Amino acid sequence: SLSLDHYDLVLPSIQPTDFGAYRCIASNGLVRQSPVAYVTEFQRPKISIHPSTSRIDIERGRSIDFQCQIENVNNDDQYQ
């Protein structure tokens, strides 16, 4: 649902049907402007760290290796 409040376009609860381009057309009789704003979906990447235990005990001076894997769920999403 959309509402117009004090020259602001308010999208109170974004849904997939709200994604797309929005254009604001303003005119004062001499000049007409119509900038475009894009609303696109952003999904956080999935991150996994191995070993996946919540606690690892290690002696001072020793080293440990972690393997991190990052997966972007939707590569074509972007903000403009």
* pLDDT score recorded for residue 2: 54
Q: How many CA atoms lie within 13 A of 54 on its CB side?
A: 0
Q: Which residues pair with 33 in a beta bridge?
A: 26
* pLDDT score recorded for residue 40: 82
* pLDDT score recorded for residue 45: 72
> For the chain, which residues make up each domain, given as ranges?
3-71
Which residues, in sequence order, are CB contacts of 57 under 8 Å at separation 6+? none
Q: How many CA atoms lie within 13 A of 4 on its CB side?
A: 3
* pLDDT score recorded for residue 80: 41
* pLDDT score recorded for residue 74: 56
* pLDDT score recorded for residue 6: 54
Mean pLDDT by runs of 10 across the 80 residues of the chain is 60 84 81 82 76 80 83 52
* pLDDT score recorded for residue 77: 44
Dist. CA 22–CA 26, nearest whole Å: 13
